[in-house]
Chain A
């Protein structure tokens, strides 16, 4: 019996061994391994995001352009769908059965137990038609949310649109606050001012039990935040002017940009062909977007910001200003209209000063102006001289906001191109090009490219006699005024007297006898317009017509650039269109006897082209 007594130690050892294993294991899962705490929070914590009311968009005069209206999503929880009467259901929704089946399949793939949208963006009348019958279809429910609606049929390119966040965005840190299915601005102002428009999301942490039933706030709501409504945007766009511009541009391709030179505020922003902003909202938005995308006229292309063309003769203004600032020419410098240098469009009086040269848009004159600015004998090597000279010239030209993004409050902006010496080095070879290679720049042709917005900004700079404010759409975010970068004055490094010397020539373009832009005259109203026509050579078809102007010349209130693709000579179509726009803005309406210009200007661009 004695030796069996020892077995009590074996039994006790077994007991203690198990206790030790338990204590160790418990120490591991309770103290060392943090993953169980996370898992517990995942179990019980539900994050409820409250999407704030998106900011509204007003025009210059306080008219509301974009607002929020309730729309309804038909949600489906696949697990709860019982014996769906597909025929009746499709009749109710007025959707083809294949589409419903595909949507149901997608919903099942997403989750069987979570609700996902089957049909989005139902309007209130559409909801009314189906709501009462929904009780016969278990598993389907209605979720209300706010969507954009438009009080205007214009300005689609500037406003942009709102859509659900693309899945790829969700992984970017910038969009960390967004969840799948959230809506955000995709293009235009909706995108640029997303932060301001969106406001601040509110987050509530709720505890839920195993069946997902709420059991109250987490830690008494300590971590909850309230949602803050988005800020309204007050645009500088004049809706009436905008609508008028879009009317005039019907059936054409091109752009109109009008700026208030004193502030840099954009008054009108027309990109033709245009579309109704409501196209990209509401039910069937995806299909309509695809239609716009596949349209050969490319209505989605934001032309004033993205289409870069050679500016044509309008650029002669910049050329002249830069040369005058360099001191190589003065207002009274004359150059012969030497057609051996470059062809001139027509025979005209001798350009004995800059006024006549601009009025007649004399190509050889500006050829010689730029040559004087570029070839200054900096090097005995004439190739190097042209190289150094072009570099210096380009630096001065770019101060006008050309060849780089202006920084407008929209993200799609293109830089354009003011070619550098390196550009030609690369294309022609080092010291294998000289002024004869680049002279086209002097008359705004060749490699140079600028956008409609940049051209309007150049005119605003001339109107201001030497400075500009970065063009912008938003006068005021909420009550806070424009963004700080739009209050900053940019000087272009050309002294005011040079502008004063140039402007009479521009006035002569419009009001002088035989000026190229006579059709832009508003002299009958006592308004003096200063402008410049341009005809952009187009190797692919008819020339592009352009006209840029500001008015009144003494106290400019509007600077405008009109660009019409394939409309031939700038003075024929672009000039009268600019005049109507300026008349509309400055006088508030169009004089009845000038209505005929509206009829003249409507219709496709080819009617303006003089066939030879």
Chain B
């Protein structure tokens, strides 16, 4: 803390801050719309008491935003080295918290993952993201991922996998899946692209195996491979073992998907994937969310029904509309213009974060930056994907838009630690 506030202020990446404010502002507007009730008094802030106001999500969101601003100030004031130094300490504390949470939390919505602190409810899983990102980045800075050091890779994998496993134990599948996003950051730091390719192929095979009969799939793949062999003698002569092993792996995956689908996934998770392929399979059960959410967004049209004019969201056809399904309110009231604006703003933020990450001199800073981008990107993908029927229904919020203190705080922390690191990077340059 040896520089003037003005100089420090100049070193903050303002475009990111402005994008952040824009998203939180738009988010609040839509939380207001989603929790708006035509029966409420015209001027609730002056006519209602604090307790009554606390019944409205939009009012509580004001409090969350206000506290988030305080949080930002604290995050920016703390010496950036602290994040580096205390990364593992924070990580250890987080692991401890995740371990004890299921034992001290009351069950809410089928999972024991919410801690109650007075009037507030916090979800440790939300905060596990930035803590793990810090620890992973810290460890990344100390190793060289490309050097095929198996032990280092194993430790990194352990750091990344331990929190999601604990979260999974508390039955928060959605929050656990988020940790898959770290792969994108590791890819940038030198992880073999093969892992991404295999995962992508696995995903495609999973979807195909659910859409087409398995024997057709096996037959078609064998045929393609056979044709390649027939017309490409080089492949036949030089890559026979490789080709055959790919064939075996793919066949294994096709049947493995089946096993995974029927034996590993829980019944409700299986249903969510089935519904993705055929929403009319269970129109009043799991299919309800997907169908109603698509109806709400689809009925918005090009320019939307107008602020507070949404019917599908207002009349409770869409569940969890201020939290996980906030995108439905945006879609219904602001139309394609609104949803596209949200997509564009997210892209702008992600591109800016990548830009900020790339200008870090330290591996720690850069890795952390990519972790931030990947985590936000994963939420963006899955949350919007599920509302428009492109991803299974997974209960994770839309960053900065969805109602909720834990979510807003954790994403704010995630983002502003990066900005803090970035700001001190410039100061470091000035110092030396």
Interface residues of A (CB under 8 A from B): 4-5, 7-8, 10-12, 14-16, 18-19, 21-23, 25-27, 29-31, 33, 35-37, 39-41, 43-44, 207-211, 215-216
Cross-chain pairs A/B with CB under 8 angstroms, 5 sampled: A10-B193, A26-B343, A26-B388, A37-B301, A43-B315
Cα–Cα distance between A44 and B315 once the two chains are bound (Å): 8
Asked if A29 meets B388 with Cβ closer than 8 Å, knowing A14-B184, A40-B296, A43-B295, the reply is yes
**Chain A, residue nearest B347 (CB):** A19
Beyond A36-B299, A210-B316, 6 additional pairs, beta carbon < 8 A: A5-B358, A11-B188, A11-B354, A16-B347, A23-B339, A43-B317
Query: In the assembled complex, how far is the CB of residue B388 from the closest CB belonging to chain A, in whole angstroms?
Result: 5
Nearest CB of chain B from residue A223's CB, rounded to whole Å? 15
The 7 closest A-B pairs by CB, nearest first: A36-B298, A209-B315, A40-B299, A29-B298, A30-B336, A210-B316, A39-B295
- Interface residues in B321-370 (C-beta closer than 8 Å to A): 331, 335-336, 339-340, 343-344, 346-347, 350-351, 354, 358, 370
Give the residue name and chain of the B residue nearest to A20 (CB): B343
- The minimal Cβ–Cβ distance linking A375 to chain B, given in whole angstroms, is 79
Q: Mark B163-189, 1 if CB is under 8 A from A, else 0.
A: 000000000000000000000100111
Which of A18, A31, A210, A216 has a CB less than 8 Å from the CB of B317? A210
Q: Which of B288-308 contact A (CB under 8 A)?
A: 292, 294-302
**Using Cβ atoms and an 8 Å threshold, which residues of chain A touch B146?**
4
A22 to B388 alpha-carbon distance, docked (Å) = 8
Query: Which of the listed residues A5, A7, A40 has the most CB atoms from chain B within 10 Å of its own CB?
Result: A40
Contact between B354 and A19 (Cβ–Cβ < 8 Å)?
no
Least distance between B299 CB and chain A CB atoms (Å): 4
| Set of chain A residues within 8 Å of B311, measured between Cβ atoms | 40, 43-44, 207
Q: Does B132 contact A (CB under 8 A)?
A: no
Contact (Cβ within 8 A) B351 A12: yes
B354 touches A8 (CB 8 A): yes
- CA–CA, A42 to B190, complex, Å? 53
> Which of B340, B354, B377, B381 is within 8 Å of A23, CB to CB?
B340
Docked-complex contact B298 and A4, CB < 8 angstroms: no
Chain B residue nearest to A21 in the complex (CB): B390
Q: Is B257 an interface residue (CB 8 A)?
A: no
Q: How far is the CB of B191 from chain A (nearest CB, A)?
A: 9
- Do B336 and A11 touch (CB < 8 A)? no
Produce 1/0 per residue, B373-409, CB < 8 A to A.
1000100110011001010000000000000000000
The answer for the CA separation of A377 and B295 in the assembled complex, in Å, is 83
Known A-B contacts A25-B388, A207-B311; the reply to A33 vs B298 at CB < 8 A is: yes
CA distance in complex: A12, B184 (Å): 11
Tell me the complex Cα distance, A497–B266, Å: 101
Highest count of chain A CB atoms <10 Å: which of B189, B343, B373: B343
* A345 CB → nearest B CB, Å: 80
| Contact A35-B188, Cβ < 8 Å, known A26-B331, A26-B336 | no
* Chain A nearest CB, measured from B180 CB (Å): 13
Q: A31 to B297, alpha carbons, bound, how many Å? A: 10
Main secondary structure of the interface of A (DSSP, over half): helix
Contact of A11 with B187 at beta-carbon distance under 8 Å, contacts A18-B381, A22-B388, A209-B315 already known: yes
Partner of B331, one of A30, A39, A208: A30
Q: How far is the CA of A37 from the CA of B331 in the complex (A)?
A: 12
Is B312's beta carbon under 8 Å from chain A? Answer: yes
Given contacts A4-B189, A11-B370, A44-B312, A37 and B340 within 8 Å (CB-CB): no
Do the beta carbons of B316 and A26 come within 8 Å of each other?
no
| C-alpha spacing A209/B312, complex, angstroms | 8
Q: How far is the CA of A10 from the CA of B190 in the complex (A)?
A: 12
Instruction: Determine how close the nearest CB of chain A comes to the CB of B349; give it in whole angstroms.
Output: 10
- The residues of A that contact B184 with a CB separation of less than 8 Å are 11, 14
A209 to B190, CA, bound (A): 53
Do A25 and B390 contact each other (CB < 8 Å), given the known contacts A4-B188, A10-B187, A15-B350? yes
The reply to whether A39 and B358 form a contact with Cβ atoms under 8 Å apart is: no
CA distance A5 to B339 in the complex (A): 32
Among A5, A25, A27, A209, point to the contact of B316 (Cβ < 8 A): A209
Closest to A40 in B: B299
**CB neighbours of A37 from chain B (8 A):** 298-299, 301
Residues of B within 8 A of A36 (CB): 294-295, 297-299
A23-B343, A31-B336, A36-B298 known; A43 vs B350 contact (CB < 8 Å): no
Contacts A39-B295, A210-B316, A211-B316; is A30 near B339 (CB within 8 Å)? yes
Residues of B within 8 A of A10 (CB): 187, 193
Q: Known contacts A12-B354, A210-B317; is A30 also within 8 Å of B343 by CB?
A: no
B335 touches A30 (CB 8 A): yes
Residue among A5, A15, A33 with the highest chain B CB neighbour number at 10 A: A15
CB neighbours (8 Å) of B189 from chain A are 4
Across-interface contacts of B351 in A (CB, < 8 A): 12, 15
Give the complex CA separation of A215 and B188 in angstroms: 53
Tell whether, in the assembled complex, residue B315 and residue A215 are in contact, meaning their CB atoms are under 8 Å apart: yes
Closest to A37 in B: B299
Report chain B residues within 8 Å CB of A35: 298
> How close is B280's CB to chain A, nearest CB, in angstroms?
12
Within 8 A of A (CB), among B257-304: 292, 294-302
Do the beta carbons of B377 and A4 come within 8 Å of each other?
A: no
Instruction: Write the chain A residue with the least CB distance to B339.
Output: A26
Shortest Cβ distance from residue A12 to the other chain B in the assembled complex, whole angstroms = 6
Q: CA separation between A44 and B310, bound complex, in Å?
A: 11
Contact with A along B197-233 (1 / 0, CB 8 A): 0000000000000000000000000000000000000
Q: How far is the CA of A43 from the CA of B318 in the complex (A)?
A: 11
With a cutoff of 8 Å between Cβ atoms, the chain B residues found around residue A11 in the complex are: 184, 187-188, 354, 370, 373
A79 to chain B minimum Cβ distance, whole angstroms, is 13
Docked CA distance A11–B351 (Å): 10
Closest chain B residue to A35 by CB distance? B298
Q: Measured between C-beta atoms, what is the minimum distance from B309 to chain A in Å?
A: 11
- Asked if A8 contacts B346 (CB within 8 A), the reply is no
Chain B residue contacts of A4, Cβ below 8 A: 146, 188-190
For the complex, give the distance between the alpha carbons of A21 and B358 in Å: 26
Q: Is A26 within 8 A of B340, CB to CB?
A: yes
For A11, A27, A208, which residue has the most chain B Cβ atoms within 10 angstroms?
A11
Per the bound structure, the CA–CA distance linking A211 and B319 in Å amounts to: 13
A43 contact from B312, B377, B390, Cβ within 8 A = B312
* A16 CA / B343 CA spacing, docked (Å): 10
Question: In this complex, what residue of B is CB-closest to A26?
Answer: B339
B336 touches A15 (CB 8 A): no
Q: Within 8 Å CB of B331, what residues of A?
A: 26, 30
A contact residues around B297 at 8 Å (CB): 26, 29-30, 36
Bound together, the chains give a CA A44 to CA B305 distance in angstroms of 14
Which residues from B are CB-within-8-Å of A30? 297-298, 300-302, 331, 335-336, 339
Q: Give every chain B residue within 8 A of A41 (Cβ-Cβ).
A: 299
B302 — which chain A residues lie within 8 A by C-beta? 30-31
Provide the residues of chain A in CB contact with B38, threshold 8 Å. Answer: 215-216
Report the minimum CB–CB distance from B178 to chain A (whole Å).
15
- The answer to whether B343 and A22 have CB atoms under 8 Å apart is yes
Q: Which residues from 113 to 150 on chain B have a C-beta closer than 8 Å to any C-beta of chain A?
A: 146
- Identify the interface centre among A27, A30, A211: most chain B CB within 10 Å of its CB: A30
Residue of A at shortest CB range from B316?
Answer: A210
Q: Is the CB of A207 within 8 A of B315?
A: yes
Measured between alpha carbons, how far is A227 from B297 in the docked complex, in Å? 36
